[in-house]
Amino acid sequence: MEFAGIRAIVSGAASGLGNATARRIVEHGGRVAMLDMNEALGQEAAAALGDAALFIRTDVSDEAQVDAAVAQAVAALGGVDLAVSCAGILGAGRVLGRDGPMPGAQFRKVIEVNLLGTFLLGKAAAAAMADNPPGADGERGVLVQTASVAAYEGQIGQAAYSASKGGVAAMALPMAREFARIGVRVNTIAPGIFMTPMMAGMPPEVQQSLGAQVPFPSRLGEPEEYAAVVQFICETRMLNAEVIRLDGAIRMQPR
């Protein structure tokens, strides 16, 4: 699919990976609906991108809100070609912590935001894409989902996060197989350690220590690198049902 001029929905777009993706879309002549829970930051991020962007406050774990946001985006953009799911939370905590076993509600919240939220946006966007006229090879749209290297090498304290991201990675193949009939591709990016707002709040020495764990390049990933992979996925039609590790060859240790 041509990336230039694309119509897109990006969740978690107020900051981090989602914001970098939204900016790249607009820089290439596209338009984007930016979904996020942070009203103030989201409005500011959309304003910075001008008339090519609109902000829609959305809790991705709420099906009615996601469906309404996709409908609003389709109406504003005249359709949707690309949906990128970047919204997520860490929910760090040991299964058996100092204060006792992890509450089920804590585990459930991470699953609802990271896994269910990705599913809800993906299925709503795919339903809208089915109405697009077919392009080359009959393509009508692209879904890009965000997993994590924690899906494969979850550390102590990441049971909920790893479970949610493992689920995201596992969805790519069955969704891609199902959506083949409507010409919608599904791919997943599994980032390693990236310079996100959470990481930016850590002391410089902690950032340097984490970056040094990455074999090459020995640094934290930049959100713009994630956005570049989103563009690559869009422009490479044979790429489907894949999970791409974007991690500098890191393999996470137990802690």
Residues 6+ apart with CB under 8 A from 44: 14
**How many helices and strands (H and E) does the chain possess?**
9, 9
Cα–Cα distance measured from residue 254 to residue 132, given in angstroms and rounded to the nearest whole number:
45
Question: Which of the residues are catalytic?
Answer: 161
67-101 burial: b if 16+ Cβ within 10 Å, else e: bebbebbbeebeebbbbbbbbbbbbebeeeeeeee
Tokens of 185: 């591709």
Nearest to 218 by CA among 226, 210, 227: 210
User: How many CA atoms lie within 13 Å of 105's alpha carbon, on the beta-carbon side?
Assistant: 0
β-pair type (53-57, 31-36): parallel
Q: What is the pairing mode between strands 53-57 and 141-146?
A: unpaired
CB 150 within 8 A of CB 162: yes
Cα separation values, 231 from 22, 67, 136, 161, Å = 11, 25, 17, 26
DSSP single-letter state for residue 113:
I
